[in-house]
Structure 1
Amino acid sequence: MLLDPSRVHLSSGHGSSRIPRFGAQPKAAEIIAASQARVSRLESGHVTARVIEVRLLLDAYGVTEQEVRSKLEELAKHSKNRGWWIEHAEHLRPDYVDHIALEDDATYIREWQPVMVPGLLQTPAYAEAVIAHGPNCMEPERAAQLVKVRVGRQAKIEEGGASYTAILWEPVLAQPLVNVETHREQLSAILEIGKRKNVTVQVLPFSAGILAGYSSALYSFSFDEEPTVEAVAMDNLRGTSVLEGAEDLAAYANAFDLLRSSALTPDASAKLIRGVLRSLKEDTS
């Protein structure tokens, strides 16, 4: 359950205080504006609820004893699992916060990107360029904060906390969205990151044809030792949508497997990236 009474031993004049079990996952997810996958992780004890989540759930389920509320909020506030992104949360969309939480909880992360370099691979300069010149006009300070969050997300991969597979369509590499110098730096970074044991980078070549349009950008997450897809996130202009229905998960897991089987091997992908990098250097020499 989300807030386990066995973790808090309190008593009052009326006997032991107990925390009620917090109902079905869809209802709890709706209350805290999160995905069912996060709720499942909370219930299993793999992650700890944030203070605001605790408050919302306590309110929704009628837990009014101040001693109990204060104790549970303190547990959430001082938990070692408290997300690094909390200090930025008030400036981020709730759906983006949920995406980051899923990413931070995951043991396996898979990503398909047909348009731009994945956020988990982006250099600060590339991230700044695509954020600042995106469809949502924003102040420089706001863009700088989002770049900082994007770089913070990468620590999960840098520390080996998850197995990460990224598939990029070849135009992402061959047709820069940013200035050439930034793009060259980005390609070099991809080659270096791709050398890590927990990272696999593959390129879907031009020759894949119509397959590249099979799916828009997607992220899939697994949370246990087995790489079973348990949540899929997809970006759109209005935010991030998280899919958790069994049929949706199966469809996108199959889509990713098809893309991966049609992509170049990691070694061939690195060779292609080095070739693009050489051509960019020649064009600017």
Structure 2
Amino acid sequence: MTQKIDPSLNRRKLRLALRRAREDASLSQREAAEQIEWSQSKLIRVETGTVGVSVVDLRALLALYGVSDPEEVQALEQAARGSKGSSWWSGYHGILSPQFAQYLGYEGAASSLHTYHPIVVPGHLQTRAYAEALLGPRDLNRDTFQKVVNLRMERQQRMFGEAGQPACTFVLDESAVRRQIGGKQVLKEQLDHLLELGSRPQVSVRVLPFEAGAHYSTLGSFVLLSFPDDADLLYLEHAAGSMTGGEDMELLARYQECFEVITDLALDEPQSADLISRVQQDLGVR
């Protein structure tokens, strides 16, 4: 059975194609909006992928931009039909910031993901017990607590349990694999999970050892996403979260350089697995 494409991916396909077609037609967003009698804000929302587009509206844009190739038009019309509706994370709407919801759409389309976490195991890799222990001190109500945990588990399943997963490199600080979130048994199971995921062909788990000393990113975690058809994107993980791509190439380049430095300082995959196994043994639990 053909897997249903998430609406956010169809909106992204339309965003890229329509922006490129408008630029090829040498039209500004204001000029294009005026010619088809739209508000400029509507066109901006379409080009940022925050809303879907009807087939009727799509045809008006394609006619304006001079896009007439039958195969291309058919593919974009199919994307438009699939751009409406809810994304997989819509059931978690109450616990997601708009910024993070938008990020999840990008993450689902990425061809590669590179991330560094200095304090704890990242949500992409957490076991349910570890996630529950990590969230415990936040004093969330029961419903919110379960939704946050379930979101992490579903996100992980979609990233590692489905076809077309991105190539992932996770660099974890040694403190993240030693910190006993939830106690020794929970940490042991979490470390087992890291070893299992790290053994997969598309996943690299690296540990930045204590002896690496000071480095570029001791202050916080970040994610770098790459795409086959779009500019790279940086997501800084803090309370509000923030993303940047082509609009701030200098910041993006700094973090790309930062990740290269961190990766050079980190242990390779076999050495990282050995360190994780030693930490497990030191826990003294079966």
Report the equivalent of 1:139: 141
TM alignment of 1:209-248, pairs within 5 A: 209-211=213-215, 213-224=217-228, 230-237=232-239, 239-244=240-245, 245-248=248-251
> What amino acid sits opposite 1:279 in the alignment?
D
Distance of aligned partners of 1:21 and 1:198 in 2 relative to their CA distance in 1, 3 Å threshold: farther
Report the equivalent of 2:127: 123
Report the equivalent of 2:273: 270
Report the equivalent of 1:15: none
* Cα distance in 2 between the residues matched to 1:179 and 1:212: 30
* Cα distance in 2 between the residues matched to 1:229 and 1:253: 13
TM alignment of 1:245-256, pairs within 5 A: 245-256=248-259
* Cα distance in 1 between the residues matched to 2:231 and 2:205: 19
8 Å contact from structure 2 (residues 130, 181) kept in 1: no
Unpaired segments ≥5 residues, structure 2: 1-13, 22-34, 58-78
SS at structure 1 position matched to 2:180:
coil
* Cα distance in 1 between the residues matched to 2:99 and 2:135: 17
TM-score, length of structure 1 as denominator length: 0.71
Provide the alpha-carbon RMSD of the alignment. 3.3
2:116 equivalent among 89, 112, 115? 112
Distance of aligned partners of 1:75 and 1:105 in 2 relative to their CA distance in 1, 3 Å threshold: closer
- Note the alpha carbon deviations across 1:204-230, whole angstroms, 9 max, x for none: 0000111275451010101117xx971
Report the equivalent of 1:77: 84
SS at structure 2 position matched to 1:111:
strand
Over the matched positions of the two proteins, sequence identity in percent amounts to 27
8 Å contact from structure 1 (residues 111, 167) kept in 2: yes
Distance of aligned partners of 1:188 and 1:212 in 2 relative to their CA distance in 1, 3 Å threshold: farther
SS at structure 2 position matched to 1:138:
coil
Distance of aligned partners of 1:262 and 1:22 in 2 relative to their CA distance in 1, 3 Å threshold: farther
- Note the alpha carbon deviations across 1:131-181, whole angstroms, 9 max, x for none: 2324xx310211111111111111223325100100000011122232211
* Cα distance in 1 between the residues matched to 2:122 and 2:196: 15
- Confirm whether residue 191 of structure 1 aligns to residue 198 of structure 2: no
* Cα distance in 2 between the residues matched to 1:274 and 1:258: 25
* Cα distance in 2 between the residues matched to 1:197 and 1:22: 47
8 Å contact from structure 2 (residues 126, 190) kept in 1: yes
Distance of aligned partners of 1:132 and 1:257 in 2 relative to their CA distance in 1, 3 Å threshold: same
TM-score, length of structure 2 as denominator length: 0.71
The number of equivalent residue pairs is 231
* Cα distance in 2 between the residues matched to 1:246 and 1:114: 24
8 Å contact from structure 1 (residues 233, 240) kept in 2: yes
8 Å contact from structure 1 (residues 110, 219) kept in 2: yes
Distance of aligned partners of 1:274 and 1:188 in 2 relative to their CA distance in 1, 3 Å threshold: same
SS at structure 2 position matched to 1:201:
strand
> What amino acid sits opposite 1:111 in the alignment?
T
* Cα distance in 2 between the residues matched to 1:95 and 1:174: 31
8 Å contact from structure 2 (residues 114, 225) kept in 1: yes
- Note the alpha carbon deviations across 1:81-136, whole angstroms, 9 max, x for none: x63112322442112211211211111011100000011110011112212324xx
8 Å contact from structure 2 (residues 173, 208) kept in 1: yes
* Cα distance in 2 between the residues matched to 1:254 and 1:101: 25
> What amino acid sits opposite 2:268 in the alignment?
T
> What amino acid sits opposite 2:142 in the alignment?
P
* Cα distance in 2 between the residues matched to 1:166 and 1:102: 18
8 Å contact from structure 1 (residues 99, 240) kept in 2: no
8 Å contact from structure 2 (residues 118, 218) kept in 1: no
* Cα distance in 1 between the residues matched to 2:154 and 2:39: 32
* Cα distance in 2 between the residues matched to 1:91 and 1:216: 22
Report the equivalent of 2:184: 180
> What amino acid sits opposite 1:126 in the alignment?
Y
